[in-house]
Amino acid sequence: MKAFTLERYGDRTGMRAADLPDPQVGADDVLVKVHAASVNPLDIRIRNGDFKTFLPYRLPLVLGNDLAGTVVRVGPSVTRFTVGDEVYGRPDKDRIGTFAELIAVHQDDLAPKPATLTMAEAASLPLVALTAWQALVERAHVQPGQKVLIHAGAGGLGSVAVQLARALGAHVATTVSTAKVDLAEDLGADEVIDYRTQDFETLLDGYDVVLDSLGGENLTRSLRILRPGGTAISVAGPPDPAFARELGANPFLRLAMTALSFRTRRQAKSLGVTYAFLFMKADGDQLRRLTTLVDTGEIRPVVDRVFPFEETLQAMEHVEKGRAKAGKVVVSMA
């Protein structure tokens, strides 16, 4: 099969197109012919080596964390899918590799593709939709009437999170650039803050939940708009001790993560709020619940651009250099 492999950590020069053997299919695995895969900032960070301390991949590695495609083979213990099914999903973090013609995925990490979406649209959703679900539903337990701030509401994660928070009955605020105000309003945000001309910290107060995808000073300022007892969940902030325990990290790594997040956790505690780091996990059952929201029109994907598969490296560069106007960048094998 054809694939794009990471030969060494660093910039794009460490990646190349390659011909590889077809994946082996385990008892609980589904072999999927990939029709489309999306590019995430996570792919760039893995390529750069940002996570190699706690995600020790063996190189060469096929990158890619989202897919939509067709089942072409199933393992002997598979009960959820049959050959010919259209599926989408985010493989487990230890089994990534969707920038390829084929991938073997555990049946529990896949879901039927939303009937209302194209393959490219479906491929844009799994990682960001699961991240939004795990932040807003699993961690924050967002309830109707609560106030939720979603940063970067026109981006890949933000565009889905705004719609999910709205579907959960929350009052939703978001930050976007001037050119994306109309899109954020169309996605259902109740308050849209143009970060180029407005300061969210002076405009918002008493929020129950913040979903942060920017980190740094943006995260620090977000803590201050929460009500006492509120929660800030970040996918870009420093890893915390809870994540280290979830990861099963060794004592040295647990100590390092505790130190990295100490300042943020201390700031949160002084304000009477909570900080949590989120590294999403694959979950086919959660994706099935999200599929219902997609097929009923409560969540729709936002796709910036679709690249042909042979231009996967250009698609990654498009994301890395911030050229995407809104939503996700997809590569298509069609």
For the entire predicted model, the pTM comes to 0.96
Average pLDDT over residues 245-262: 86
pLDDT category at 19 given cuts 50, 70, 90 is very high
Could you tell me the two tokens for 103?
A: 């991938």
127-277 matches 2-125+301-332 in CATH topology: no
Q: What is the pLDDT of residue 178?
A: 96
**Span 2-125+301-332 CATH architecture:** Alpha-Beta Complex (3.90)
pLDDT exceeds cutoff 90 at 226: yes
Q: Tokens 């997609």 identify what position?
A: 294
For the chain, the domains span 2-125+301-332, 127-277
Average pLDDT over residues 295-311: 97
Rounded to the nearest 10 degrees, the angle between the axes of helix 41-48 and helix 312-320 is 100
pLDDT category at 241 given cuts 50, 70, 90 is confident
Which secondary structure element, helix H or strand E, spans residue 241, and what is its range?
A: helix 241-247
Percent of the chain clearing pLDDT 70 (strictly above):
100
What is the phi/psi pair of residue 330, to 5°? Answer: -125, 145
Say how far apart CA 64 and CA 97 lie, in whole Å: 5
- What is the assigned CATH class of domain 127-277? alpha beta
Report pLDDT digits (tens) over 156-198.
999 999 999 999 999 999 999 999 999 999 999 999 999 999 9
Least confident of 56-60, 64-68, 164-168, 221-225: 56-60
Which secondary structure element, helix H or strand E, spans residue 128, and what is its range?
A: helix 126-133
Q: What is the pLDDT of residue 156?
A: 96
Higher pLDDT: 248 or 292? It is 292
Which secondary structure element, helix H or strand E, spans residue 172, and what is its range?
A: strand 171-176
Residue 251, exposed/middle/buried by CB under 10 A (0-12, 13-18, 19+)? exposed
Report pLDDT digits (tens) over 98-140.
999 999 999 999 999 999 999 999 999 999 999 999 999 999 9
Q: What is the pLDDT of residue 54?
A: 81
Say how far apart CA 8 and CA 60 lie, in whole Å: 7
pLDDT category at 256 given cuts 50, 70, 90 is confident
Average pLDDT over residues 61-78: 98
Q: Which of 29, 38, 26 is nearest to 108 (CA)?
A: 29
Q: What is the pLDDT of residue 80?
A: 97
pLDDT exceeds cutoff 90 at 53: no
Q: What is the pLDDT of residue 308?
A: 98
Mean predicted lDDT score pLDDT of the chain: 96
Q: What is the pLDDT of residue 248?
A: 82
Q: What is the pLDDT of residue 264?
A: 96
Q: What is the pLDDT of residue 51?
A: 87
Say how far apart CA 42 and CA 44 lie, in whole Å: 5
